[in-house]
Structure 1
Amino acid sequence: MYAKCGQLDLSECVFEEMENTGSVSWNALLTAYSMHGEGDRALSVFSLMEKRGVEVDSISFLSVLSAGRHAGLVEEGRKIFHCMRDKYHIKSEVERYVCLVDLLGCDGLFSEIMDLLKTMPMKPDGGVWGALLDASRMHSNIKIAEVALKHLVKIGQGNPSHCVVLSSLYSHAVHAGVKMSDIGLRKNPGYSRVEVK
């Protein structure tokens, strides 16, 4: 409860006072740090879990990867991703790949992302392509944005908001309009209503 309210120090105090701390308690603390962008603290908790022999599971890895993503800890995130696969033999689910694509995308490491997508044991889903589209928006990379949008449309998860991201990257509005119509999407105009009494 303290963690949800952002009281991380109180959460840690409660955790330290617990007599029996299993992987659920450790994961709760790890997730709390992740939710509030405390990447360094999340990594410290993860290291402590390993040192104390606490069972590290897929939830632990998802939380620590997410924390690394929010804090921009690219190298640490890479190590943790490979540790999950190589040391703990935990199957890399698509959610972990979304975190890794997001993490690498924050640093603009597009060639590494494209290599990763080619070696994934499953087909990239909308989350992966959406993370790539967001990273391309962040770094104004039109070519990668086009690739991501093409794949989103191909798997049936393209929507007008994705096209808005792409169109904002184009320098000319006419060019963006042509691209949206080329793939069969159009942006519905937004509207709002005000009730007057």
Structure 2
Amino acid sequence: MMRAEVMPTSYTFSSLIKACASLSALGFGEAVHCHIWRNGFDSHLFVQTALIDFYSNFGKIDRSRRVFDEMPERDVYAWTTIVSGYVRTGDLSSAKELFEEMPERNTATWNTMIDGYARMGNFDSAELLFNQMSVRDIISWTTMITCYSQHQKFREALAIFNEMTSNGIHPDEVTMATVISACAHLGALDLGKEIHLYILQNGFDVDVYIGSALIDMYAKCGSLDRSLSVFFKLREKNLFCWNSVIDGLAVHGYADEALKMFRGMEREKIKPNGITFISVLSACTHAGLVEEGRRMFLSMTDDYSILPEVGHYGCMVDLLSKAGLLKDARELIRSMKVEPNNIIWGALLGGCKLHRNLEIAQVAVKELMALEPNNSGHYNLLVNMYAEVNRWGEVGKIRAAMKNIGVEKKCPGSSWIEMERKIHQFAASDKSHPASSEIYLLLAELGGQLKLAGYVPELIWGDLA
């Protein structure tokens, strides 16, 4: 075009800048910027807005701000673009300052700020802005749902979804996939079924994203048959779908089926990733398939050039430890290319408890005390092991040490179940639930039945209470 001496217009330059941003062509974009200046388009609104976005895509927010400050006029899109640039680079303080200076705001501006706070985990600020919005679109609602889901606030995510539908806002595919994932983490099977039905009745395309979310949700909620049914009905299956079904089979103890599914994935020429091997190694651990686990662990690096991460080592240490191969597990830890964490040492300690190996247990607990000095669980496990071999002197020393550093109390665990679309949450020793009297009465009755069956109810009751 330039060789033909055809004069470019503002549309030419704004399109060129967008192309440079898409191709990450910083040098070419800078050259185009020179042409913009030379051809007198340095004050054109659309062109300058494109430049602001272009430079912020490369993290050069100072250049974006310089272009913005030099603009003779600015519309709401220019303001939103510079605010988005600051959000993209993580400078929420500057983004908020500009947001408050804006003469007018549109829904996209509000969504940009909410998304920025959500990414930073600042729920209070995200909620405050969300509640202040006079008009919310599908992006506003989905951003808040995603915000809660990504930070494990799944009950809040479902509450926002219910509010969204009650306000007459129809969700899209992204919203549905996110909500299905929240159901999976909460074990909300009934609600998950309703959402699946809503998807089918409202003509949603069950693509690889919704499909993989449904597979994962049904598996995590205990309905493996439905999970497999969704998988086999999918017209197209990507890596996420295969990973979800392999993990579902592994979690439910179907190790052989999980491995068969993995081989089917290989036949379909779908290249596995690190997450795939976490599921495969977990399946081997559940079934005690030591040699198969070793083979898979080697295949990961030899055949697919995937470097083992802490999660993969954790699976292997757990597999070896549960099989009683504690020395092999210890050697694997020594050979790790990454620093072993509490999961690694915890898996080794669990194997030591199972196979009554005090020597290696002492090593594991020493490492765990350094990593998690306030976690009473590791101390208590070692106390129980000493008590089993009547080494009461050691028991006394550990209990005294626990008292000195203030880790006598065990951090209460919690769990939840879904009944009639309502999520009930329970914590250990908690009596705040309206039906707690009936629950403890039933536990006492079960304890009596266990005693009659030959078990020691005091130990079981201690775990439950």
Task: Please say whether Structure 1 and Structure 2 have the same fold, judged by a TM-score greater than 0.5.
Answer: yes
Equivalent position of 2:262 in the other structure: 46
* Structure 1 position 7, deviation (Å): 2.5
- Tell whether the 8 Å contact from 1:160 to 1:186 is kept in structure 2 after alignment: no
* Structure 1 position 91, deviation (Å): 1.4
- Tell whether the 8 Å contact from 1:102 to 1:131 is kept in structure 2 after alignment: yes
Unaligned stretches of 5+ in structure 1? Answer: none
Equivalent position of 1:121 in the other structure: 337
* Structure 1 position 116, deviation (Å): 0.6
- Of 252, 267, 271, the residue aligned with 1:36 is 252
* Structure 1 position 73, deviation (Å): 1.4
* Structure 1 position 36, deviation (Å): 1.3
- Tell whether the 8 Å contact from 2:317 to 2:348 is kept in structure 1 after alignment: yes
SS at match of 1:167: helix
Alignment of 1:1-150 (within 5 A): 1-150=217-366
1:65-105 deviation digits (Å, cap 9, x = unpaired): 11111121111111111111111111110011111100101
Q: Does 1:173 align with 2:403?
A: no
Q: Which has the higher contact order (CA 8 A, sep 6+)?
A: 1
Give the structure with higher Rg (CA): 2
1:132-175 deviation digits (Å, cap 9, x = unpaired): 11111111111111000111123345622111100111123332
Provide closer, same or farther for how the CA distance between residues 73 and 29 of structure 1 changes in structure 2, counting only shifts above 3 A: same
Alignment of 1:176-187 (within 5 A): 176-181=395-400, 185=405, 187=407
Provide closer, same or farther for how the CA distance between residues 30 and 166 of structure 1 changes in structure 2, counting only shifts above 3 A: same
Q: 1:49 and 1:192 mapped to 2: Cα distance?
A: 45
1:165-196 deviation digits (Å, cap 9, x = unpaired): 0011112333222145468656525795768x
SS at match of 2:307: coil
Q: 1:158 and 1:69 mapped to 2: Cα distance?
A: 29
Equivalent position of 2:379 in the other structure: 163
Normalising by structure 1, we get a TM-score of: 0.89
- Tell whether the 8 Å contact from 2:365 to 2:378 is kept in structure 1 after alignment: yes
Q: Which amino acid is 1:108 matched to?
A: G
Q: 1:28 and 1:128 mapped to 2: Cα distance?
A: 24
SS at match of 2:337: coil
Provide closer, same or farther for how the CA distance between residues 58 and 157 of structure 1 changes in structure 2, counting only shifts above 3 A: farther
Provide closer, same or farther for how the CA distance between residues 189 and 55 of structure 1 changes in structure 2, counting only shifts above 3 A: closer
Provide closer, same or farther for how the CA distance between residues 157 and 69 of structure 1 changes in structure 2, counting only shifts above 3 A: farther
Q: Which amino acid is 1:133 matched to?
A: L
Q: 1:12 and 1:166 mapped to 2: Cα distance?
A: 41
- Tell whether the 8 Å contact from 2:369 to 2:378 is kept in structure 1 after alignment: no
How many residues are matched? Answer: 197
Q: 2:395 and 2:337 mapped to 1: Cα distance?
A: 34
